[in-house]
Amino acid sequence: MRCSFGSVHRLGADVWLAATWLALLCGAIALSVWAAIDDRFPGDAAVGRWIQANDLPGRTLSQFLRDVGSTPAAAITLILAVIVLLALGRRRAALVSGCFAIGFGLQHGIKLLVDRPRTSILLLDQHGSFDSPSFPSGHVMSSMIAGLVVVYLCWRIPGPLWLRAPIAAWGAGVGLLQPWASISAGVHWPSDTLGGFVWTAVIGVPLIFALERWALPADNRDDRFPGWRRPFPRLR
């Protein structure tokens, strides 16, 4: 049986991707087990105090970031993305994008299983509210899930750069700045935010793969960046 070089190359890339995902999953599980054993990791308190002492990114901005990075806000963002994709006729992409909502339920399940207590008021000043265990950070995980969908779709779906660039920057910025906001507010240890990033990657890698290979095939997407608005066929 003959096999093209392209097929072999793709198979090799798929194997590496699967290995990367398994490594991320093992790392996420290991972090979760460690968080269940220890209330905080070495260096958590020192990093948290340094961020608060330097007022990064500031109390007002921290509260704003936590508001726009909450799970309800992230869910609304995901719903809007699905609606836009359906309006554009991208039904497969809408289905896969909607599957990212699995992460919202997963984070709550992990929180209950790990059951890590929140930060100590003896070590960090707390000026934020919370109603769930600490690990992983729900704000980090929710905002990164929504941001990942927004950034990927802004990259892959055709449209004017002046529209896509600020939307992608907003999606990425809210997620990437969320750890500093949560630590500055005194409601999470740095290791909680690390757990949020790693678990987001565990969810995001297979779903981005599904978007890339199944929902947005090469003959039905814009591979140019920046790209410009142009007609494209509806998926059947």
Q: Enumerate the domain spans of the chain.
A: 64-115+138-231
Q: What is the pTM for the complete model shown?
A: 0.83
Of residues 189, 177, 146, 148, the one with CA closest to residue 65: 177
More confident residue, 221 or 135: 135
Tell me the average pLDDT across 28-50. 94
User: Residue with structure tokens 């969320």?
Assistant: 178
Vertex 75 angle, CA 70 and 81, to 5°: 130
SS3 of residue 117 by DSSP: coil
Local confidence band at 144 (pLDDT 50, 70, 90 cut-offs)? very high
Q: List Cα–Cα distances, 87 to 44, 93, 98, in angstroms.
A: 45, 11, 14
Vertex 126 angle, CA 123 and 129, to 5°: 140
29 close to 202: Cβ distance less than 8 angstroms: no
Tell me the average pLDDT across 133-145. 93
Task: Note the pLDDT of residue 39.
Answer: 92
* pLDDT tens-digit map of 41-76: 999 999 999 988 887 667 788 888 888 889 999 999
Task: Note the pLDDT of residue 217.
Answer: 60
**pLDDT above 90 for 106:** yes
Amino acid sitting at position 129? S
Task: Note the pLDDT of residue 5.
Answer: 44
CB proximity list for 31: less than 8 A, separation 6 or greater:
191, 194, 195, 198
Neighbours of 44 (CB within 10 A): 21
Q: First vs last Cα of the chain: how many Å apart?
A: 32
Amino acid sitting at position 36? A
Q: List Cα–Cα distances, 228 to 15, 147, 187, in angstroms.
A: 34, 22, 43
Q: List Cα–Cα distances, 129 to 85, 181, 193, 231, in angstroms.
A: 34, 13, 16, 47
Task: Note the pLDDT of residue 11.
Answer: 59
Task: Note the pLDDT of residue 161.
Answer: 86
CA distance 178 to 210: 26
Query: What is the 3-state composition of the chain as percent helix, strand, coil, each rounded to the nearest 5?
Result: 70, 0, 30
Residue 130 structure tokens: 């919370």
Task: Note the pLDDT of residue 45.
Answer: 92
Local confidence band at 12 (pLDDT 50, 70, 90 cut-offs)? low
Task: Note the pLDDT of residue 10.
Answer: 60
Residue 5 structure tokens: 């070089």
Tell me the average pLDDT across 156-170. 88
CA distance 102 to 198: 15
